[in-house]
Chains A and B, each alone.
Chain A
Amino acid sequence: DVKVTQSSRYLVKRTGEKVFLECVQDMDHENMFWYRQDPGLGLRLIYFSYDVKMKEKGDIPEGYSVSREKKERFSLILESASTNQTSMYLCASLSGQVNEKLFFGSGTQLSVL
């Protein structure tokens, strides 16, 4: 089965710090996504990438950037962390086939103090 691995389960950072969240998938999927999940809200798309070095803004890209230098790795960057970025961050990958499902990582719970 597809494995999507996020580098950290829990992170605690201070306001203003630069934060890197890493995600690696092992199924050669073209498409990768970063979501955040907050209580009472559905998953919200931050950024996605459909190919190496390609990226597209999702619904809430402000305050975030991404990097996809290799097909298997998709990084989310918080240039200057703020308290309102405290959240659960989920990475997902998807093949290009019709009706294929998203494969999610276990998530990173980020707390910004």
Chain B
Amino acid sequence: KNQVEQSPQSLIILEGKNCTLQCNYTVSPFSNLRWYKQDTGRGPVSLTIMTFSENTKSNGRYTATLDADTKQSSLHITASQLSDSASYICVVRGTGGFKTIFGAGTRLFVKA
């Protein structure tokens, strides 16, 4: 069964600290993996995409990694800011059609 598991479910960190969010998936065959950020009361917005051949990709303070062999991805946030408080959703797309599996998300709280 195609699944996407995210951990932790929620996370509280102090402003300025780093954190890493995890995503494990079983979707096969694999096309790409995206991380989305969803602010409270808003729709998700894409942060980054990882394809099969990519190991790491950065978008400002966000760095995503992908290990296609172990089917794991991580999202590392550096020097967190209050505005990073949001849900982060890992989304894996299979090949063919629109097969897209969403993780349940990690809820990040950044405290001053």
Contacts and interface: CB of A to CB of B under 8 A. Distances in A.
Interface of A: 4, 9, 31, 33, 35, 40-45, 48, 50, 90, 92, 94, 99, 101-102, 104-107
Contact of B42 (A92, A102, A107): A107
Nearest to B47: A101
A50 to B, nearest CB: 8
A42 B103 contact: yes
A101 B102 contact: no
B104 A42 contact: yes
Contacts of A90: 43-44
Nearest to A109: B41
Interface in B83-99: 89, 91, 98
Contacts of B101: 42
B96 to A, nearest CB: 12
Interface in B47-90: 49, 51, 89
A31 B32 CA distance: 18
Interface string B21-58: 00000000001101000000111111001010000000
Contacts of B41: 9, 106-107
Main secondary structure of the interface of B (DSSP, over half): strand
Interface residues of B, number: 22
A94 B49 contact: no
Given A104-B43, A106-B43, 4 more contacts: A35-B102, A42-B101, A102-B44, A106-B41
Name which of A9, A90, A102, A107 has the most chain B CB atoms within 10 A of its CB: A102
Contacts of B42: 106-107
A77 B4 CA distance: 29
B7 interface: no
Nearest to A56: B98
Contact of A99 (B49, B89, B98): B49
A50 B98 CA distance: 10
